[in-house]
Amino acid sequence: MSDFSVYQKERTLHYRFFVDLSKYKGDLDPVYYDPLGSIGDDSVYYTWRKGLVTFYPKEIHLSYEVTKQ
């Protein structure tokens, strides 16, 4: 991991870093998307079907919510 940075914007804490996978020997699992979907269609498919396009993510957003117990 390299190029680590952290910042806060509008009550959200952002971490950004780079993981070099160029020497990774295993298979990376692709996700698929519909290039003809509507502009608001952010559906992600994990199995290919006709009309979908392969996408290997370059950026992943993780989020969580703290709940009171």
pLDDT digits (tens, 9 = 90+) for 7-64: 888 878 888 888 887 777 777 778 888 989 898 888 888 888 999 988 776 666 666 7
- The answer as to whether 1 is a domain residue is no
Whether 17 maps to a domain, the answer reads no
Q: Is residue 7 part of a domain?
A: no
In a domain, 28, yes or no: yes
Number of domains in the chain: 1
d(CA 12, CA 68): 18
Please state whether the predicted TM-score (pTM) of the whole model is above 0.85.
no
> Does residue 33 form part of some domain?
yes
Torsion 20-25-27-32 (CA) sign: positive
Residue 42: inside a domain: yes
Domain that residue 49 falls in:
23-58
